[in-house]
Amino acid sequence: MIVNSVNFLIFFLVVFFVYYFPLKGHAKAQNIWLLLASYFFYGFAEWKMIPLLFAATVIFYGLGLAIGSNAGTKPKRSSYLTTLGVVLGLGLLLYFKYLNFFIQSFSSFFNAVGLKTHWSVFHILLPIGISFFTFKLISYVIEVHRKNMEPCRNFVDFATYIAFFPTILSGPIDRPKPFLAQLSKARGFDEDLATIGLKRILWGMFMKTCVADRLSIYGDAVFGHALHHNGVSLGFATLLYPIQMYADFAGYSEMAIGVGCLLGIKITENFKRPFFSQNIAEYWRKWHISLTGWLTDYVFMPLNVKFRDMEKWGSIFAIIITFILIGMWHGAAWTFALFGLYHGLLYIPLMLSGTFFKKKKVKKTESGLPPFNAVLKMIGTFLLVSFGLILFRSASLAEAGMVVKKIATEPGPLFFDYQTLINGLLCMLILFFKDFWDEYRSEKQLFSKGIINRYRYELTLAGYALLILFFGVLDGNQFIYFKF
């Protein structure tokens, strides 16, 4: 049951009605209902993994209480328990997501050097959303250990935080303290928050069905048969893929945030118009913000402190390790590891020049537009991101190498699927126009006078709905990040 499906609409209407009518004003009852709904939602996707999710929740709930009770009087025991929690969380990921990868990699290495092995991989079912809920579990025990929050003593609240149905499959990765604080009090229907939520749901649906799913038809046709396409077509598909990924993943995040708003719960932001970034550091501050922030706080910063004697090179090593982990978080393959390494290496010029920690706001021209040199930097950053995503999109290193070689050496006519691509490109322009307006003209209304301004919210919703009906691919395509 995915967010852009009729099944989800029916499910959510039931959740919404019970949540606000019989249970209005009763925080505990609302949380129990959310927990039941979340487990039903997760079970609808993968019921065999419900016991794993529940067992992990129980264990980390107990660890949080134990860490909190020992933090003041027995700090060493608290540290050991926190380490245990981190190891258990990483152990879940290593077993379910990476065990077979390491078996195959070591077996291939030993066979290559003449040491024959007969290792076989295990039949392991990858739990959907494991990369997201394990990071929630790990961040919880770390935050309790750091005394940034008190341990949650209400099991229902904690279990709801871990399994919250809008975010369990593809994020965003909420931090425990602000999320749990919202569950401590009853939620009444907030009309202002609900109007924002409805608008974000429809915009996310537009991004997914009209942009991502349209562009994916072209991308799948080209990358799925890369051997039979020339470098021009592969290059064009490479430039479209970052936009497809953005519309797909940010579209899901918009819908998840919108659903949260309708339930009176604010979910962390996950994207902030990343293609208006002037360098790779700025790009990652705007792309998958919840993951980047998580790894910055729990991986990069501790490593940066550990390597501080090495000065700038210590920070470089810390950032490279962090980005290799970001790459591997996305999947158990060497393509993802090299994807992370590639992005880590792009940070080296920023680190050496001292611009990594500088966050300068783009100065606008008198017309409210970014200056020409800033636009050139944005284009350059987009091209670097697009090139790196060849690794992300390819099934193997050999396939990635073939795509790069073809782009560099095989000119030819552009493969252009008019029926699907024209609509996709039109919707892509609408997406970029909205992002541009939000980035540079957000203080101004597009229509400041007259009846259009008076009914701009209603007209916006109607416009999104019409775009989805006319241009959307309404066949319930899964989201790219479900597999991570």
Q: Are the C-beta atoms of residues 461 and 197 closer than 8 Å to each other?
A: no
d(CA 390, CA 405): 12
Q: How far apart are CA 209 and CA 206, in angstroms?
A: 5
Q: Give the Cα separation of 299 and 89 in Å (integer).
A: 14
Best CA proximity match to 351, nearest among 310, 389, 388: 310
Per-residue confidence (pLDDT) for residue 123, from 0 to 100: 78
pLDDT for residue 359: 66
Q: What is the C-alpha to C-alpha distance for residues 149 and 139, in angstroms, rounded to an integer? A: 11
- Residues annotated as catalytic are 330
In the predicted model, is pLDDT for residue 447 greater than 90? no
Residue 418 binned pLDDT confidence (cut-offs 50, 70, 90): confident
Contact assessment for residue 149 and residue 137, using Cβ atoms and an 8 Å cutoff: no
pLDDT at 39: 96
Q: What gap in Å lies between CA 331 and CA 483, rounded to an integer?
A: 8
Beta strands in 121-222 (DSSP E): none
Amino acid symbol at 394: S
Lowest mean pLDDT among 7-16, 176-185, 454-463: 454-463
With beta carbons less than 8 A apart as the criterion, state whether 84 and 178 touch.
no
Q: Where do we find the tokens 């392991």? A: 124
Region 425-438 average pLDDT: 92
Q: Is the peptide bond before 176 cis (omega within 30 degrees of 0)?
A: no
237: enclosing H helix or E strand: helix 231-262
pLDDT: which is higher, 480 or 56: 56
Q: Give the CA-trace dihedral at 271, 275, 278, 282, to 10 degrees.
A: 20
Cα–Cα distance list, 7 to 1, 2, 35, 166, 362 (Å)? 6, 8, 19, 14, 43
CA distance 226 to 243: 19
Q: Is the model's pLDDT at 385 over the cut of 90?
A: yes
Cβ–Cβ < 8 Å for 480, 250: no
- What is the CA 248 to chain-centroid distance, rounded? 10
What single letter denotes the amino acid at residue 58?
Answer: V
- Encoded amino acid at 470, one letter: F
pLDDT band at 455 (very low <50, low <70, confident <90, very high): low
Residue 441 DSSP code: S
Residue 113 has pLDDT above 80, yes or no: no
Which among 386, 372, 377 is positioned nearest to 342, based on CA atoms? 386
Instruction: Tell me how far apart the 2 most distant CA atoms of the chain are, in Å.
Output: 79
Taking alpha carbons only, the member of 480, 10, 421 closest to residue 251 is 480
Secondary structure E strands in 223-325:
none
pLDDT tens per residue across span 148-204: 999 999 999 999 999 999 999 988 999 999 999 999 999 999 999 999 999 999 999
Please give the backbone phi and psi of residue 312, each rounded to the nearest 5 degrees, phi first: -60, -35
